[in-house]
């Protein structure tokens, strides 16, 4: 049964409405509560969380209908407000509708008109409640899924480490076995090496699934403190030196603005590392990766943020995939280089940046390649 709050300083009008809706009240379709003014209405709302619809007159003492509407929209955003006013007071009606009133009704009104307006409001409340319920179910399902994936990943880690250790042991054992003929030894080493490489790839995927599950469920811990962005980027580049040399890729690094900012240093370093590895994989031999960092500010709020752009000379990303590339297990169709990955790295990057109140996106360069952009607020 729905509860309707009727804010009206004219008690005789409320008595008339209650009499008109006597059958509806007796049949438990809804119940009516009376407030003599806006102040009393706010007190009732504070102590009654069952109210679905507010019907309010505009002209009331202490707190009028428009002021009440403003407060209600801020404190009770799901509550639907119907404004009552006298004929000819369309200026206040326009003001009320602009302030977020659900509907209005002109006094004197017919019972049928008021009932239809109430039913429309209740239907809208019901629709919103269903949406919220479905959203809560989806969030809970996502939380349970993340917990399940994290548990499964933990369970798989122990046997995977066993496979890695035994494959390495088998490789060394056959390599040191002088009694084994060369052909058989070579074949066994190929098998053990293949097992080891496959296990390493699978272990990386398990670790990525575990990390993403922790990020999505909010269980991943962040150590937020002041960090030097230039130091973070240079550290990431140092870990990739071997891969860069193997493909003869040059780095053009431009730090237009340096400075400290509040973040989890290792996690931002991980994001830079993952995007750089992605750029290296898709870059042709002897090409260049351009990294540019600048300090910018938003036009309206003037909040400062660092913008990091990492641009490669690879095949780029098809226009239709620019948004979906950050989704789980999503890979660009331009993987003819054999550079396909697990499709989780960019999703992890998005989650880390999102939890820093930042943004990450990708766009294609005018000539060739893709450019990944990261926007990080100076203060989180």
Q: pLDDT tens for residues 172-187?
A: 888 888 788 888 888 9
Is residue 300 very low, low, confident or very high in pLDDT (cuts 50, 70, 90)? low
Looking at the chain, the whole-number percentage of residues with pLDDT higher than 90 is 36
Instruction: Kindly state the average pLDDT of the residues 149-172.
Output: 83
**Residue 332: per-residue pLDDT:** 67
How far is the CA of 142 from the CAs of 129, 148, 299, in angstroms? 20, 10, 36
**Residue 203: per-residue pLDDT:** 87
Is residue 234 very low, low, confident or very high in pLDDT (cuts 50, 70, 90)? very high
Is residue 380 very low, low, confident or very high in pLDDT (cuts 50, 70, 90)? low
pLDDT at 339 over 80: no
Residues 6+ apart with CB under 8 A from 138: none
Q: List the strands of the sheet with 80-86, edge to edge.
A: 30-35, 2-7, 51-57, 80-86, 103-107
SS3 label, residue 184: helix
Instruction: Kindly state the average pLDDT of the residues 12-26.
Output: 82
The label of the residue with tokens 């369309």 reads: 90
**Residue 338: per-residue pLDDT:** 43
Residues 6+ apart with CB under 8 A from 364: 316, 317, 319, 322, 370, 371
**Residue 321: per-residue pLDDT:** 86
pLDDT at 36 over 80: yes
Instruction: Kindly state the average pLDDT of the residues 244-258.
Output: 93
**Residue 178: per-residue pLDDT:** 78
**Residue 337: per-residue pLDDT:** 46
Instruction: Kindly state the average pLDDT of the residues 319-348.
Output: 74
Q: What is the pLDDT of residues 108-147, one digit of tens each?
A: 888 888 888 988 998 998 898 888 888 888 878 777 777 7
Higher pLDDT, 35 or 320: 35
- How many CB atoms lie under 10 A from the CB of residue 217? 16
């Amino acid at each position: 049964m729905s509860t309707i709050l009727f804010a009206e300083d004219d008690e005789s009008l409320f008595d008339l409405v209650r009499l008109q809706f006597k059958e509806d009240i007796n049949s438990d379709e809804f119940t009516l509560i009376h407030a003599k003014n806006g102040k009393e209405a706010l007190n009732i709302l504070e102590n009654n969380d069952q109210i679905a619809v507010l019907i309010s007159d505009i002209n009331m003492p202490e707190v009028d209908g428009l002021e009440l509407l403003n407060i209600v929209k801020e404190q009770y955003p799901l509550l639907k407000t119907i404004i009552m006013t006298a004929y000819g007071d369309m200026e206040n009606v326009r003001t009320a509708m602009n302030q977020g009133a659900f509907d209005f009704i002109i006094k004197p009104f017919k019972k049928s008109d008021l009932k239809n307006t109430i039913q429309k409001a209740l239907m809208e409340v019901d629709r919103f409640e269903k949406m919220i319920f479905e959203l809560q179910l989806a969030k809970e399902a996502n939380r349970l899924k993340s917990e399940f994936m994290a548990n499964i990943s933990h369970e798989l880690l122990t046997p995977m480490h066993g496979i890695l250790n035994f494959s390495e042991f088998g490789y060394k054992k056959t390599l040191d076995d002088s009694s084994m003929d060369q052909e058989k030894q070579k074949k066994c080493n190929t098998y053990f090496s293949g097992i080891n490489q496959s296990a390493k790839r699978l272990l990386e995927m398990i670790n990525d699934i575990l990390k993403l599950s922790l990020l999505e469920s909010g269980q991943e811990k962040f150590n937020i403190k002041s960090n030097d962005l230039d130091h973070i980027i240079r550290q990431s580049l140092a870990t990739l030196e071997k891969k860069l040399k193997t493909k003869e890729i040059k780095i053009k690094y431009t730090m237009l603005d340096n400075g400290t900012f509040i973040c989890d240093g290792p996690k931002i370093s991980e994001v830079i590392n993952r995007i750089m590895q992605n750029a290296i994989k898709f870059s042709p031999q002897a090409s260049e990766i351009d990294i540019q960092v600048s300090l910018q500010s938003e036009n309206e709020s003037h909040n400062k943020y660092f913008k990091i752009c990492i641009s490669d000379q690879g095949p780029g990303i098809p226009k239709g995939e620019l948004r979906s590339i950050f989704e789980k297990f999503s890979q660009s169709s331009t993987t003819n280089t054999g550079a396909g990955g697990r499709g989780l790295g960019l999703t992890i990057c998005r989650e880390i940046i999102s939890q820093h109140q930042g943004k990450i996106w990708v766009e294609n360069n005018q000539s060739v390649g893709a450019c990944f952009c990261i926007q990080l607020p100076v203060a989180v």
